[in-house]
Amino acid sequence: MQGRKKQSLISLAIKQILIISICLFALDSYGQQQRNYSVIWRGKEVGLLKATSQTQPQGQVYSTDSEMNIQMLLSFHIKSNITNVFANSQLKDAQVHRFVNKKKKLTSTTHFNENHYELKKDKDDIVKMKSNIPATVTWLYFNEPVEKTEIYSETFLTFLKFKQIAASVYETTLPDGDVMTYTYRSGVLQRVEIESGYGEFVFKLKI
């Protein structure tokens, strides 16, 4: 009798563990997505970018965290974080923080307030903008910009002109002259190529 009771308790415990595991798996599968990209410069891997999409009470949160070590005449350790909050298919809040050799290099914010956006970069005054922002550069890591002609840059605080140059391949030019190319396969971003004055950077999806 005691043997049967013990076996039943063990069976119940196993079922509970399985249920908890399934719930945790469902939360990870449906609540959050994560993609990792190798950062390649001049043919060498110099860093990593982690892109995350997560459903939270305030809306859909997209973020990227990147870290790079660049060796030129001097050594540069570049760390960046960008966070977006979307609700009802519209950007509500965006924050950009960039550090070079542990010193703050850039801070920019985009905040939706009632019927307009408030834009602020570093110590500059707040600039108001009346417009709708349905897509951002960070948003691109989880969404192919099909039929999009403009994408908002949280870093430059302006809209970028986007054009499709091939099947699932899109191109834009940044205000500083850098050219960025985004390549997708089955809706998943595979690589980002940046043609800059410092050479070509490639963000390649890690399998």
Q: What digits encode the pLDDT tens for the residues 160-179? A: 999 999 999 999 999 999 99
pLDDT at 22: 37
Q: What is residue 126's DSSP assignment?
A: P
Instruction: Strands of 122-162 (E only): list them.
Output: 127-129, 150-153, 158-161
Instruction: Strands of 57-166 (E only): list them.
Output: 59-71, 75-87, 90-100, 103-113, 116-121, 127-129, 150-153, 158-161, 163-166
- What is the pTM for the complete model shown? 0.83
Categorise residue 147: left if φ over 0, alpha if ψ from -120 to 50, beta otherwise. Answer: left
**Radius of gyration (Cα) for the chain, nearest Å?**
22
Categorise residue 136: left if φ over 0, alpha if ψ from -120 to 50, beta otherwise. Answer: beta
pLDDT at 14: 46
Alpha-carbon distance values, 150 to 4, 119, 153 (Å): 67, 18, 10
- Cα four-point dihedral sign 192, 195, 201, 202: positive
Token reading at 198: 């410092």
pLDDT at 207: 77
pLDDT at 55: 95
CA distance 162 to 147: 9
- Positions in the chain whose pLDDT score sits under 50: 5-6, 9-10, 12-29
Domain layout of the chain by residue ranges: 33-205
Q: What is the separation of C-alpha 190 from the centre of its chain, rounded to a whole number of angstroms?
A: 13
pLDDT at 31: 76
